[in-house]
Amino acid sequence: MTTTPEDPRGPLGREGEVRAAELLARAGYAIVARNVRAGGVELDLVAARGDLAVFVEVKTRRGRRHGAPAEAVDARKRGRLVRGAAAWLAAQPRRYGRARFDLVTCEVDGDAWRLEHWPAAFDAGDV
């Protein structure tokens, strides 16, 4: 049996997703799904507020050596998220009247975390 070492970024990314979910919950969103796969795409968080479904991409970085977290959500990534969101919505018994794509960026400096919520970071027409 062959094992592969865990990606060292995994725990950091998971911690970012936990913190992002807490941030959104404090802002009045209900977290309805975490790390769900739909349409061959992993959706980090799906939140809701009333009839609004919010698909949240979480990007966590320790430093800016590879750029700012928001820069990682390029046109290709946005297209995948739109495809995943459409598949997720189609599979839901509850019908949402609106959908939105948000971004939560998490930057870590030592033990200090800085989170920023970007509501409506992009829309399906942007892809």
Q: Let me know: does 121 contact 103? Beta carbons within 8 Å.
A: yes
Nearest to 63 by CA among 100, 122, 113: 113
Q: Let me know: does 127 contact 78? Beta carbons within 8 Å.
A: yes
- pTM value? 0.87
**What is the predicted pLDDT for the residue at 3?**
42
Domain layout of the chain by residue ranges: 9-126
d(CA 94, CA 75): 29
**What is the predicted pLDDT for the residue at 64?**
73
**What is the predicted pLDDT for the residue at 1?**
41
> 62 - beta bridge partners?
108
Tens of pLDDT along the chain (127 residues) come to 444 445 555 888 899 999 999 999 999 999 999 999 999 999 999 999 999 999 999 999 887 776 777 877 888 999 999 999 999 999 998 889 999 999 999 999 888 999 999 999 998 865 5
Q: Let me know: does 39 contact 88? Beta carbons within 8 Å.
A: yes
State which fold the 9-126 domain adopts: Trna Endonuclease; Chain: A, domain 1 (3.40.1350)
